[in-house]
Amino acid sequence: MRKKYFVQFILLLCSGMFSGVILAATPSASMLANTCVGCHGPNGSSLGPASPTIAGMSKDNFIEIMTAYQSGERPATVMTRIAKGYTNEEIELMADFFSKQKFVRQKQKYDSGKAKLGKKLHKKYCEKCHEKGGSSAEDDAGILAGQWEPYLRYSMEDFTKNGRKMEKKMKKKMGALQKEYGDKGIDALINYYASQN
Ligand code: HEC
Ligand code: HEC
């Protein structure tokens, strides 16, 4: 009898130690990324319009964004709180993971007339930094082409109305666009990005 309890005790001790080892180890990138899937979709390509697709963005841009959420510099509904739960090392692991995933575009409704104007405006005001029609990750400015339309709308509002910081030159271009075309210009651009599917 006694011996049996002793064996159970040892087993319990071992399993405790074992799970301790697992907890102490750094979680893998895909384990970390799993906590984002519910909102950002499998491998970072969001299936619903409420959350942006985060697959395929550059590592640098990802790290910059998460850091800006942590400090509160970038306004957000949920991400400021979520970002605070991760260390720099974990953010780097996730940046590496998501940068290697393919940005999967979803079919979205758009107005083709507005998209046509948007294409023209993009060339004039935005292409310099948002290369290849806003589809390149290499410019470190985020992927706009095929991104969810409602998210782009919120993002634009954050820049133009809610004080989200813009790079100096982007601010200048955005100002020029609004002066010449007003909210219509922004609406046209959003339709252009949504049309790239
Ligand atoms: C509860 C839903 C939810 C979860 C969980 C979530 N996100 Fe988000 N994420 C959002 C929303 C919504 C936004 C848009 C900003 C905002 O309003 O917070 C966003 C924005 C982002 C952006 C900015 C995208 C861009 O194009 O600028 C990144 C990067 C991001 N999330 C990364 C992550 C990572 C990494 C995780 C997992 C650790 C995660 N998110 C978990 C909902 C979520
Ligand atoms: C001088 C370079 C530059 C120009 C010009 C520029 N941008 Fe940007 N843009 C950036 C950079 C860099 C970022 C990423 C940093 C950040 O998220 O704040 C960005 C981010 C964005 C985002 C946020 C993406 C996201 O996922 O949240 C949107 C939307 C955007 N730009 C739209 C535009 C539009 C529309 C124009 C043209 C009217 C434009 N930008 C012109 C450099 C530029």
The residue whose CA is least distant from atom 5 of ligand 1 is 36
| Owner of token pair 């697709």 | 53
Tokens of 189: 């651009």
- Cα of 143 vs centre of ligand 1, distance in Å, is 14
- Give tens-digit pLDDT for 118-177: 999 999 999 999 999 999 999 999 999 999 999 999 999 999 988 888 999 999 999 999
Q: Is 123 in the pocket of ligand 2 (CB under 6 A)?
A: no
Tokens of 147: 């991104």
pLDDT of residue 20: 44
Q: Is 167 in the pocket of ligand 2 (CB under 6 A)?
A: yes
- Give tens-digit pLDDT for 87-132: 999 999 999 999 999 999 989 999 999 999 999 999 999 999 999 9
Identify whether residues 90 and 42 lie together within a single domain.
yes
What is the CB-side half-sphere exposure of residue 60 using CA atoms within 13 A? Answer: 5
CB 142 within 8 A of CB 164: no
pLDDT of residue 126: 98
Range of the domain at 52: 24-99
Q: Is 51 in the pocket of ligand 1 (CB under 6 A)?
A: yes
Instruction: State how far the Cα of 140 lies from the Cα of 160, in Å rounded to an integer.
Output: 20
Q: Pick from 54, 70, 99: which residue ends a domain? A: 99
Q: Is residue 10 part of a domain?
A: no
Tokens of 74: 């970038």
The residue whose CA is least distant from atom 19 of ligand 2 is 141
Residue 187, phi-psi category: left (phi > 0), alpha (psi -120 to 50), beta (remainder): alpha
Pocket test residue of 123, 149, 160, 167 for ligand 2, highest count of atoms within 8 A of CB: 167
Identify whether residues 84 and 119 lie together within a single domain.
no
pLDDT of residue 2: 57
Burial class of 144 by CB neighbour count within 10 A (0 to 12, 13 to 18, 19+) = buried
| Owner of token pair 């959003």 | 190
Identify whether residues 88 and 116 lie together within a single domain.
no
Q: Is 82 in the pocket of ligand 1 (CB under 6 A)?
A: yes
Closest ligand to C-alpha of residue 193 is: 2
Identify whether residues 86 and 160 lie together within a single domain.
no
Q: Pick from 68, 99, 130: which residue ends a domain? A: 99
The residue whose CA is least distant from atom 2 of ligand 2 is 129
- For residue 101, give the nearest of 43, 29, 39 by alpha carbon: 43
Confidence of residue 22 (pLDDT cuts 50, 70, 90): very low
Residue 178, phi-psi category: left (phi > 0), alpha (psi -120 to 50), beta (remainder): alpha
Domain with residue 59: its CATH number is: 1.10.760.10
Cα distances (angstroms) measured from residue 102 to each of 2, 44, 105, 135: 59, 8, 9, 12
The residue whose CA is least distant from atom 18 of ligand 2 is 166
- Give tens-digit pLDDT for 33-76: 999 999 999 999 999 998 999 999 999 999 999 999 999 999 89
Tokens of 26: 């750094």
Closest ligand to C-alpha of residue 36 is: 1
Instruction: State how far the Cα of 14 lies from the Cα of 9, in Å rounded to an integer.
Output: 9
Q: Is 106 in the pocket of ligand 1 (CB under 6 A)?
A: no
CB 40 within 8 A of CB 82: no
